[in-house]
Structure 1
Amino acid sequence: MAVARDRVVRLLMQLERAACRCPAHSSTFHQAVPCTKRETDYAFEMASSNIRYGEGVSREIGMDLRNLGARNVCVMTDSNLSGLPPVKAVLESLAKSGVPYKMYEGVRVEPTDTSFKEAIAFAKKGAFDAFVAVGGGSVIDTCKAANLYSCHPDANFLDFVNTPIGKGNPVTGALKPLIAVPTTAGTGSETTGVAIFDYEPLKAKTGIASRALRPSLGVVDPLHTLSMPTRVAANSGFDVLCHALESYTALPYHCRAPCPPDPLNRPAYQGSNPISDVWARHALRQVATYMKRAVENPEDVEARSNMHLASVFAGIGFGNAGVHLCHGMSYPIAGNVKTHKADGYNVEHPLVPHGLSVVLTAPAVFSFTAPMCPERHLEAAQILGADISRAKRADAGAVLADTLRHFLFDLKVEDGLAAVGYCKDDVPALVQGTIPQERVTKLCPREHSEDDLTSLFEASMKLY
């Protein structure tokens, strides 16, 4: 009898181990059976800004601020947008509702720690009771930081910046209301609690991530996207594409370590989860249907409106699930740019736009991650137009990578990192610039080493 009981116990233990579906034991996603030890998380939180969508909704912002009782509003934008219809519409709305405001037009496209600090100084001096950001991700992220530090005037700049560059302290105090008015269809920053910038001392991007940073309201007016130049529309769309792909293939939430000792410590980027998956898949379908039209014809209101919505959908998805290697590797690509100046961007400094820096590594990255969740990679390829009827699980990486290359070629994307000024000798610096991006790279479903990153950068030097 004792022998029989021992056999039963051993069998139950084997079954328990087999039931654990984290990547250490299987590639199946979202089988949220607890592992025998509570080392990984067991829950996820779903949060997003309130979103208002519709043609002309910018006209309502003055009423929103009046309803909030705002008496001293900071309106942030960049110099390129300050004279364009989106900003004019917002300012007219404020004037009509009798809402006092001050303008800050000094936002830098692809902001740095220096440009963040300049905006923060303006916000602290102004003692504002509400903020409005009109622009792309650079403007909205800068406004988030200005709001945060003006409400925490005694904090040092690195206190809230992500580790390992900063201290990564949680944000515990309340922030002022922030209304975000996105003018590009890409970053989804109107939905997220993340503010990204170039940290100049390390020539690498980092950021601040906290649910407290989420705008109080995202006012998504599709008419604003009609002013986007063609290449800005393309690069913004690539950000949507990678937000959807990365969040859908990220490490599942219940396999992310460590398990937080307090809900306050649960990160904004938690890993893929069943709710974020819905948003990511839908965003990917929108990209497949509308992106080429939106880039090729700036007057295609239907296409540009739907890409604006796709940006919101992907933002809600990745704002909770997170992104992984494409974004982690993109930060040193953008931060180490030497001479490349992107078409369609009226800036004096060298620039590899964020969406472009993200998508250039996508074929190599998804070829690398496919073995961990091949079904998801094949599904993504199918949504983007690939015939997967005869594809095997082992083909997933190659199928998605080829599908992405065709997509990028059709949209006239530069032929890899070499086309934006990088060479093989730059790879070590790019790898070292990726290492500090642990906040996102740890959500890659496949473990990776510096040698793996080296191979991925080398594979991305040429796309076609």
Structure 2
Amino acid sequence: MTCCHDADGLDGHDTAFTVDASRVTFGRGCLREVGDRARALGMTRVAVFSDPTVAGLEVFDTVQRSLREAGLDTVAYTDARVEPTDQSFAQAVAFATETQPDGYVSVGGGSVIDTAKAADLYATHQADFLDYVNAPIGGGNPVPGPLAPHIACPTTSGTGSEVTGIAIFDLLSLHAKTGIAAPALRPTEALVDPDCTDTLPAEVVACSGLDVLSHALESYTARPHTRRAAPERPSQRPMSQGANPWSDLGSREALRLLGEYLQRAVTDAADREAREQTMWAATLAGIAFGNAGVHAPHAMAYAVAGRVRRFHPQGYPGDEPLVPHGMAVILNAPAAFRVTSGSDPHRHLQAAHHLGADIAGADTGRDAGGILAEHLIGIMRGVGMPNGLTGVGYTAADAQALAEGAWPQQRLLSNAPIDFDESLLAETFGDAMRYW
């Protein structure tokens, strides 16, 4: 759907926004529908993507059983990497190229879903790896046509990858995260089953839930879509088109739900209502940022995760250095929102209000950034996040290098409500080192 008055305003800015979303089925037990839905999409030979941990769980067996009962042939790829790299994407592409499935089902977190997206893309439209990667790191070439159908079955309540056309990975040669963004990457359908989150470790729920929170906050505070230059052709309007009335709806409700349920979902694994509502918030925020885009906290997070030296969190497999994506994002968020709040103090203050902050008597112009930042810090402490970037091994001496690592994320930085340069990025990283 496209909503518009005059898609090319007199000042050259866009006056329209486009609403895109995957078909979503939400509810406990809906994973059992995957076989019928795959057959309805015309799949006959299905590549089922997962990671080694999820592949050993009942949810993976449920999907496999449903596909077999629908009479479909399956081939399993269970080597998707948590926080994928260009190398792990290449391995998945090789598998898909060799097995030639006519459809994909991904069962796992955002890393698994993104890996299936990349495998589908490169097996369908072969190209040099960097051709489709976001500029300026890669060529940013458009996807030349449709992909094989893909049903995404998220097992965490966080990334929103099941409803976005974005696949994120670590480019090992640059020690930084980047990605591929194209509408064709958006999964055909999403089956969002809250049963998948019942056994998640608290740390995983916290990190994924904070990613959701920042999706909603960044979409809500992104550069308005009417400040973006009108595309040369309507079909070239970017997915990250800036804050718009559609994304605002999902962002506001996601913030409200997270303010009420996130801490409960982390601290009490038996609170099924809280985990279900957190997963619904993830879906809403995913649809929101899939149409509005995120900005500075995510751009900064890619440098934090890509340059980690020693830190490894509890609840995550392996022992290699790792800052989970949601953690990397939220550690930057309070400092970033203090900086961006001057662009629209009222909107930042309302974001804090939707998240549950008391804004009674606040001076919109003077207090907005501080109130939002302090409320975020309170949530971080409540769910056990490290105290800023120092908590994952960085020091103030790293601020400039982190800024240099974040600077290539122009797709995200250009969506921020203010203009960032490397100097302001370095200053913001410095402010994110410690919060309490």
Shorter chain as denominator, the TM-score bin is: over 0.9
Choose the corresponding residue for 2:71, options 88, 91, 98: 98
Q: Could you tell me the TM-score, scaled by structure 2's length?
A: 0.97
Tell me which amino acid in the other structure corresponds to 2:272. Answer: V
Structure 1 residues 313-354: Cα deviation after superposition (integer angstroms, max 9, x where no partner): 000000000000000000010000101001100123210000
Tell me which amino acid in the other structure corresponds to 2:35. Answer: G
Structure 1 residues 390-441: Cα deviation after superposition (integer angstroms, max 9, x where no partner): 1112210111111111111111210110110111222222101111101011
* Superposition deviation, residue 267 in structure 1: 1.1
Q: Secondary structure at the match of 2:17?
A: coil
Indicate the residue corresponding to 2:46 in structure 1.
Answer: 73
Question: How does 1:169-188 map onto structure 2 within 5 Å?
Answer: 169-188=141-160
Aligned counterparts of 2:201 and 2:12: Cα–Cα separation in 1: 48
Structure 1 residues 251-298: Cα deviation after superposition (integer angstroms, max 9, x where no partner): 0011013x2112232111100001110000000001011101100111
- Contact 2:338–2:373 at 8 Å: present in 1 too? yes
- Contact 2:5–2:16 at 8 Å: present in 1 too? no
Tell me which amino acid in the other structure corresponds to 2:224. Answer: P
1:372 aligns with 2:343: yes
Aligned counterparts of 2:41 and 2:298: Cα–Cα separation in 1: 36
Aligned counterparts of 2:434 and 2:185: Cα–Cα separation in 1: 37
Residue 157 to residue 58, structure 1, CA distance change in 2 (3 Å): same
1:52 aligns with 2:52: no
* Superposition deviation, residue 41 in structure 1: 2.2
Q: Bigger shift: 116-125 or 442-451?
A: 442-451
* Superposition deviation, residue 217 in structure 1: 0.5
Question: How does 1:163-202 map onto structure 2 within 5 Å?
Answer: 163-202=135-174
Aligned counterparts of 2:420 and 2:5: Cα–Cα separation in 1: 24
1:142 aligns with 2:115: yes
Gaps of 5+ in 1: 1-30
Indicate the residue corresponding to 1:461 in structure 2.
Answer: 433
- Contact 1:170–1:265 at 8 Å: present in 2 too? no
Question: How does 1:310-459 map onto structure 2 within 5 Å?
Answer: 310-393=281-364, 394-459=366-431
Residue 32 to residue 461, structure 1, CA distance change in 2 (3 Å): farther
Indicate the residue corresponding to 1:24 in structure 2.
Answer: none
- Contact 2:163–2:290 at 8 Å: present in 1 too? yes
Gaps of 5+ in 2: none
Aligned counterparts of 1:348 and 1:125: Cα–Cα separation in 2: 31
Aligned counterparts of 1:33 and 1:210: Cα–Cα separation in 2: 24
Indicate the residue corresponding to 1:252 in structure 2.
Answer: 224
Identity %: 48
- Contact 1:198–1:206 at 8 Å: present in 2 too? yes
Larger radius of gyration: 1
Q: Secondary structure at the match of 1:190?
A: helix
Q: Bigger shift: 408-417 or 269-278?
A: 408-417
Question: How does 1:222-301 map onto structure 2 within 5 Å?
Answer: 222-257=194-229, 259-301=230-272
Structure 1 residues 217-267: Cα deviation after superposition (integer angstroms, max 9, x where no partner): 10001100112110000000000100000000000011013x211223211
CA RMSD of aligned residues (A): 1.6
Q: Secondary structure at the match of 1:88?
A: helix
Aligned counterparts of 2:122 and 2:247: Cα–Cα separation in 1: 29
Aligned counterparts of 2:352 and 2:235: Cα–Cα separation in 1: 37
